[in-house]
Amino acid sequence: MSKRVLTTESGAPVADNQNSATAGVGGPLLLQDQHLLEKLARFNRERIPERVVHARGSGAYGYFEVTDDVTGFTHADFLDTVGKRTEVFLRFSTVADNLGGADAVRDPRGFALKFYTEEGNYDLVGNNTPVFFIKDPIKFPDFIHSQKRDPFTGKQEPDNVWDFWAHAPEATHQVTWLMGDRGIPASYRHMNGYGSHTYQWTNAEGEAFFVKYHFKTNQGVRSLSSEQGHELAGKDPNSHQTDLLQAIERGVNPSWTLHVQLMPAAEAQDYRFNPFDLTKVWPHKDYPLQRVGRLVLDRNPDNVFAEVEQAAFSPNNFVPGIGPSPDKMLQGRLFAYADAHRYRLGVNHTLLAVNAPKATTAHNYGRDGLMASNAQGRAAKNYEPNSYDGPVETGRPLAAPLAVHGHTGTHEAPLHTKDDHFFQAGELYRLMSADERSRLVANIAGGLAQVSLDDVIEKNLAHFHAADPEYGKRVEEAVRALRED
């Protein structure tokens, strides 16, 4: 069988791909060598801006299968029948490091899931922790700046990391998660995923429920100690990518069981703490986990750049039956995620194969822009309403409306009777075994002891004391011992 002919990007056959055209034997190169210039120019443009956060990622395709009836809580089409399967794409990531960073580091992990439903793509953007460091998006750029590379030293600085946390007492709960045993997952397969934010489900009768997602790994939770993480990151920076790729290639398909917590919307106002605060979890005794379905990954991407690097997740990609809540961090991300993709990939990034709907077709009046491939035919109109049978609105909202009242302004979140920055961090500490507590204290002290300002250390110690007296005392003693060495 004859081989296919190598061509230029315009389709012309390439005569010689080994030698550039020159002015005579051994002479200078010629500007007319279109093939050479095209190759060099494309090579210079092979990289796009990396994500500011979640730059280092891995991904896989699979399916979500409904195992339990949840139609009493949502009329989302992809959840309406037990046994129904929906194709998905899941991207895992570290948060703080750059694209070339190592996988086995102490950092939260992104857990971003795209459901290719028959009513459009539904994006669920979460982490491997049920909480986060902050609860207002106006602090997000400052938080990320404090965790990323310092503009002068070019590396992550404990002074910056802990100085921000010293001024953010609400971060104490997530810091306890991050510095605990689950701070370095052994692999992407061996960690849970969480929607983290509070979302809204609406049933066919219009009843609204607030919902939290929990994806429990069926492989079991496995994590690395700080020492194991450092060793693995040095030996194989791509450890988690390699593990995920090879497991699926072997047919060992990782899976997670989805559970949800559901709060009737009417209960949110008088709940003992703000249920939309991303730094807090809902106790399971108040809102037990209810099983929904099974997530399975069974196919690796063919091209990491095209499918993993260009995958674009936006939490504002809802489908009928699912919508937002008053969660401030979620509200900020409804804008920020989509805007990041418009910057990185262009306004037509939703036309890329990994981002385009698969179980339905997008019909809208978006036109033109960089890399447009959304031509609608000679007679198609690009405005609405029109008299030419263009797509029309349904008049049916995706979710129930959120009640609002009061005056506009830069308000702090309303306090509920038991709102507190430290109680849940203390609860998490008290749930830990003696060995887990010792490792947590050592991990915190190892970073905090490197901080140069005593005031920053004292502020952070005060947070741990407020969470639990033993917790604070042990961290304080460990920091003092390390600074005296």
CB-based contacts of 401, cutoff 8 Å, min separation 6: none
Tell me how far apart the alpha carbons of residues 118 and 311 are, in angstroms, rounded to a whole number. Answer: 19
What is the spatial distance between Cα 92 and Cα 85, in angstroms, rounded to a whole number? Answer: 21
Contact predicate 133/106, CB 8 Å: no
Question: Residue 202 contacts by C-beta under 8 Å, 6 or more apart in sequence?
Answer: 74, 75, 208, 209, 321, 322, 323, 398, 399, 400
Backbone angles phi, psi at 87, to 5 degrees: -65, 145
DSSP string, 405-418: -S--S-PPPPPPTT
Inter-residue contact 68 to 294 (CB < 8 Å)? no
Q: How many CA atoms lie within 13 A of 258 on its CB side?
A: 22
Q: Which residues of 312-342 are buried (b: 16+ CB within 10 A; e: fewer)?
A: bbbbbbbbbbbbbbbbbbbbbbbebbbebbe
**Catalytic entry in 35, 54, 75, 463:** 54
Strand segments, DSSP code E, in 37-194 are 57-66, 85-94, 109-117, 120-127, 193-194
Please provide the distance, in angstroms rounded to a whole number, between the alpha carbons at the two ends of the chain: 72
Contact 131, 178 (CB under 8 A): no
User: What SS3 class is residue 270?
Assistant: coil
CB neighbours of 415 closer than 8 A, spacing ≥ 6? 274
Q: How many Å separate Cα 428 from the centre of its chain?
A: 23
Out of 35, 75, 127, 460, pick the active-site residue: 127
Q: Which residues pair with 445 in a beta bridge?
A: none
Q: State how far the Cα of 462 lies from the Cα of 458, in Å rounded to an integer.
A: 6
| Amino acid at position 326, single letter | P
CA 283 – CA 138 distance, rounded (Å): 27
Exposure of 86 by Cβ count < 10 A (0-12 exposed, 13-18 middle, 19+ buried)? Answer: buried
Decide if 127 is catalytic.
yes
Reply yes or no on whether 54 is catalytic.
yes
If one counts every other C-beta atom within 10 angstroms of the C-beta of residue 223, the result is: 16
Q: Residue 72 and residue 202: Cα distance in Å, rounded?
A: 9
How many whole angstroms separate alpha carbon 76 and alpha carbon 86? 12
Give the DSSP H/E element, type plus range, for residue 231: helix 226-235
Active site residues: 54, 127
